[in-house]
Structure 1
């Protein structure tokens, strides 16, 4: 009778433990070693941050974990990924998009933040990476409310998840791209750092309709410098780099580097990124041997490109490779940035093909920041 009562009490505690987990407060650790579900030390910092965004799947098994400090996971939750990352002392943080309707009302902000914090804690994650895509104008209620939300989220995560990291994604330049005129200085002061998306720089082409690099060196440097000129500490900035490029269809092909595309007249733009196709690095490398030019290098933009043809139509592909990425690392050192980040880790070829393996290793090696 006594044994039955004791067993019932134990079972009741276990049921309560699992039930509390459904509310985001506590869940059973499913890692082989329970310590892998523990919080990272509050002082868990790196001299240089290396973030990798991951969209799901099992590519993470082949990442170079010696180079990574944080994985931003926004695919389906993967317990194995979290356990493996923690075994390598790497953070795994939640990715979240902020909607304007959650900004103005303080209670709505609190509910949104708590929901994200509980989700992260239930999954033993180590922070949150936030972004917002909706427009805002200086002085508007959204303008100030966004930095308030980021600050409140940072306080909540730091308090409830020891050693957690809170970051916010911003455009390549603070020049109100796409109407996103945010209070970037206030946001930077409100979180651990800004992740500067130094890619899609020519997403809105306004001067001419020729194919251009995804992340030209000079504009990358100029955009990051502009954030620093706002008074933001350079150690609050992480430079994002693309592991993908753009495949442009040429309406008129004059010569290499002069691929003219279809012109659109939308919102006073003479050209649009809609005439290009996003292409991951693994596909870029697969097509390179079939190009009519081989790899070309543009010294002005410090970026590679090549040309191929389909049904007598020229295509020009601009991308980043180990050489262009290594040159961007000089920006990190020149401006004394907090670190570098990759969009996205899944873009490389992780097959057993020897040539693909070498290309993939070279891209990871380009992230060496020592």
Structure 2
């Protein structure tokens, strides 16, 4: 059933009861709200969304008073009730939600520190999926508006973005600047929708196949790795360059360190399955490196 959005309290209560039955019958301890549509301060949904979350929290807690205990790595399954929120509270993608109130009426807030180039404000080029500065700016922002740090979970990506470079604008096949086509998103001409998501394991397979025509580079500004790779077009004997931006153990560790410095509740990846495709020896070794980066938060 879809949550009612018309202010009908009876329908809302029926929805909450049905969701509780669904989660409890499947031995889940709760659920996650992931509403990502645009909203402004005057919209009906601004207050209604908070009300829906609050009523759901009250009902779930009345049925399971011990359900506030969470396992951070599996928070989308085992946390009582989590709200998934944008990387910053400051009107990202038109999502002007009442984040402070949502934090007060829910158990956890999962900060999606990825897809941060959904609205590119400057030059339309490929860039980092989860720059270090958005981690800092986003978490600082939630704390600035008064969100309880003990409710914040830093969500980080186990995937990256693959961009096709506009060859007519490329300075060279190995250029660090990859102009991308204009793909509008919510009022902005350029967005990461010009690229496509690639799991970490799939990104590493490009390296294993030696398709890359540059080494894995490190961008100092965003504290993120990236590389170029190339395919030859059989139709017109030209080369097409792609650029991949992703996170590795080094870039993730830096974000975990800042999360630990702020003493927030936890960190959690999206998604676990992104690390594994073939379970080869090298793939498992790389996955272990990614997992070991969590030590920078927990130790």
TM-score category by the smaller chain? 0.7 to 0.9
Relative distance call for 1:145 and 1:246 in structure 2 (3 A) is same
- Counterpart mapping for 1:103-122 below 5 A: 104-122=7-25
Write out per-residue CA displacement over residues 333-358 of structure 1, whole angstroms, 9 at most, x where no aligned residue.
Answer: 12111100110111012644211110
The 1-side partners of 2:143 and 2:127 are apart by: 26
Partner of 2:217: 296
Tell me, yes or no, if structure 1 residue 359 matches structure 2 residue 277: no
The 1-side partners of 2:183 and 2:66 are apart by: 48
- Counterpart mapping for 1:134-283 below 5 A: 134-164=37-67, 165-251=80-166, 252-254=169-171, 255-264=174-183, 268-283=187-202
- SS of 1:102 mapped into structure 2: coil
What is the deviation of 1:107? 1.7
Tell me, yes or no, if structure 1 residue 305 matches structure 2 residue 226: yes
Which stretch has the larger CA shift, 241-250 or 109-118? Answer: 109-118
Alpha carbons 1:204, 1:271 under 8 Å: kept: yes
Write out per-residue CA displacement over residues 300-339 of structure 1, whole angstroms, 9 at most, x where no aligned residue.
Answer: 1100011100120111100001110111111111211110
Would you say how many aligned residue pairs link Structure 1 and Structure 2? 273
Alpha carbons 2:119, 2:185 under 8 Å: kept: no
The 2-side partners of 1:297 and 1:185 are apart by: 36
Alpha carbons 1:103, 1:109 under 8 Å: kept: no
What is the deviation of 1:238? 0.5
- Counterpart mapping for 1:85-100 below 5 A: 99=3
Gaps of 5+ in 2: 68-79, 233-238
From 259, 272, 281, give the equivalent of 1:332: 259
Gaps of 5+ in 1: 1-95
- SS of 1:150 mapped into structure 2: helix
The 2-side partners of 1:185 and 1:113 are apart by: 22
Partner of 2:72: none
Alpha carbons 2:202, 2:277 under 8 Å: kept: no
- RMSD of aligned residue pairs (Cα, Å): 1.8
Could you say which structure has the larger radius of gyration? 1
Relative distance call for 1:265 and 1:245 in structure 2 (3 A) is closer
The 1-side partners of 2:230 and 2:55 are apart by: 52
What is the deviation of 1:125? 1.0
